[in-house]
């Protein structure tokens, strides 16, 4: 690594870590004031405060790093412009790409680091924060979700559901195990699918009731019904609250879940969009670096911290709005999952590339 590269990177790294710490601190402060009432109301201990906000840091870092990269690149190039160091480099025959490639390389390494955090650390930290806040602090016991199967108790019965779609108020693949006090199976009810209405509850189709002798375990009766209303107390809203936070699933888990749902004939569009987003989101760091360079060159000597913060917020807000809109199109099936996940990156990369080409060297 040349002296010039080390010098440019030293400026960039110093600003990057300062910006990251600032954004993380602001995020934590806002989140603290949003959650503190619930912590106080439920008498949370000091360790729960520390564990909750400590485990929240990986998620915050993943979300604010692109803004920190944008601000660091903007301020680094702006600093070199204000001190005429950029002009000196140009006079030595260095191209714009040669002067800024250390910044682009740093942003790419940052993207790789965020990708690793999202894959290995983030799912565990998000799961821990959810457990602390929902179960330990608020006292809510969530339904156990195991990727493609949902298990929970309904009184003395054990219920297994293959797929719940709260938005459509439907259940696919229901099995209810009726057991006695000695936990011996007495009856099993299977249903292919069900729909929910407020007046009658859950009405299931292709229902099969099987009766078993609890002593021998042998089936002695079977009854099949085209349709039947089953006494399932949970509403679609209950399942909506119990849906797993997709941030607790990494790319490999989402990929396995998509394959499993496709093999069972279910539509995994939402999970496909999130699966592609797991790969796409970290590379926003590179896109922000590409955008930061021409903006800094256009501002020239007028670059300052206030401008950097304002630019980071405006561009970051625009990026996340477009990304969220495209993801919504992907969830609804309007756009293919890969297009929904990568389109915002492609759009901003084209804008950044066009601005770079338009900038006079």
**What pLDDT does 340 receive?**
92
**What pLDDT does 301 receive?**
60
Angstrom distances, CA of residue 60 to CA of 25, 63, 64, 288: 9, 5, 6, 17
Residues facing 212 on adjacent strands: 219
CB 340 within 8 A of CB 348: no
Host H or E run for residue 228:
strand 219-230
Which residue has tokens 């821990």? 128
What is the spatial distance between Cα 276 and Cα 339, in angstroms, rounded to a whole number?
9
Gap between the terminal Cα atoms of the chain: 24
CB 251 within 8 A of CB 279: yes
- Token pair of 27 as six digits: 């995020």
C-alpha triplet 317, 240, 150: angle, nearest 5°: 125
Is 169 in a helix, a strand, or coil? Answer: coil
Helices assigned H by DSSP within 226-360: 236-242, 251-263, 269-280, 284-299, 305-331, 337-358
For the packed helices 337-358 and 284-299, what is the interaxial angle rounded to 10 degrees? 20
Using alpha carbons, select from 270, 272, 259 the residue that is nearest to residue 338. 272
What does pTM read for this prediction?
A: 0.70
Which residue has tokens 């309904």? 154
Which DSSP string corresponds to 117-165? Answer: IIIIIHHHHHHHHHIIIIIIIS---PPEEETTEEEEEETTEEEEEEEEE
**What pLDDT does 1 receive?**
57
Which residue has tokens 């759009």? 347
DSSP assigned state of 221: E
Which residue has tokens 């569009």? 269
**What pLDDT does 5 receive?**
84
Q: How many CB atoms lie within 10 A of CB 128?
A: 17
User: Mean pLDDT per 10-residue run, the chain (361 residues)?
Assistant: 84 94 93 87 84 91 93 87 79 78 93 93 87 74 54 82 82 89 88 87 91 87 90 77 64 84 71 90 93 79 68 84 91 90 92 78 47
**What pLDDT does 248 receive?**
76
């Amino acid at each position: 690594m040349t002296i010039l590269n080390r010098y440019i990177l030293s400026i960039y790294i110093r600003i990057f870590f300062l910006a990251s710490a600032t954004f993380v601190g602001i995020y934590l402060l806002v989140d603290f004031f949003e959650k503190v009432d619930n912590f106080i109301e439920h008498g949370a201990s000091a360790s729960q405060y520390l564990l909750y906000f400590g485990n929240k840091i990986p998620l915050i870092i993943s979300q604010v790093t692109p803004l920190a990269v944008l601000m660091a690149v903007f301020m680094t190039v702006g600093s070199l412009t204000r001190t005429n160091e950029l002009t000196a480099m140009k006079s030595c025959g260095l191209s714009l790409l040669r002067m800024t490639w250390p910044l682009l390389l740093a942003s790419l390494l940052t993207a790789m680091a965020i990708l690793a955090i999202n894959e290995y650390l983030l799912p565990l930290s998000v799961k821990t924060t959810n457990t602390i806040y929902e179960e330990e602090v608020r006292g809510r016991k969530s339904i156990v979700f195991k990727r493609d199967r949902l298990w929970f108790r309904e009184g003395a019965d054990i219920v297994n559901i293959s797929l719940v779609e709260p938005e459509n108020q439907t259940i696919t693949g229901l099995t209810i195990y009726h057991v006695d006090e000695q936990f011996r199976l007495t009856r099993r009810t299977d249903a292919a699918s069900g729909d929910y209405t407020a007046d009658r509850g859950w009405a299931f189709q292709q229902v099969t009731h099987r009766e078993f002798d609890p002593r021998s375990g042998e089936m002695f009766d079977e009854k099949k019904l085209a349709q039947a209303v089953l006494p399932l107390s949970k509403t679609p809203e209950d399942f909506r609250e119990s849906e797993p936070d997709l941030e607790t699933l990494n790319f490999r888990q989402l990929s396995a879940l998509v394959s499993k749902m496709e093999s069972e004939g279910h539509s995994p569009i939402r999970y496909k969009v999130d699966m592609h987003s797991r790969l796409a989101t970290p590379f926003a760091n590179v896109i922000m670096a590409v955008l930061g360079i021409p903006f800094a060159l256009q501002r020239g000597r007028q670059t300052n911290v206030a401008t950097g913060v304002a630019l980071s917020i405006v561009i970051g807000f625009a990026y996340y709005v477009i990304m969220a809109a495209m993801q919504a199109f992907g969830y609804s099936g309007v756009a293919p999952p890969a297009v929904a996940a990568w389109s915002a990156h492609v759009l901003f990369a084209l804008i950044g590339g066009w601005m770079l080409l338009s900038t006079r060297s």
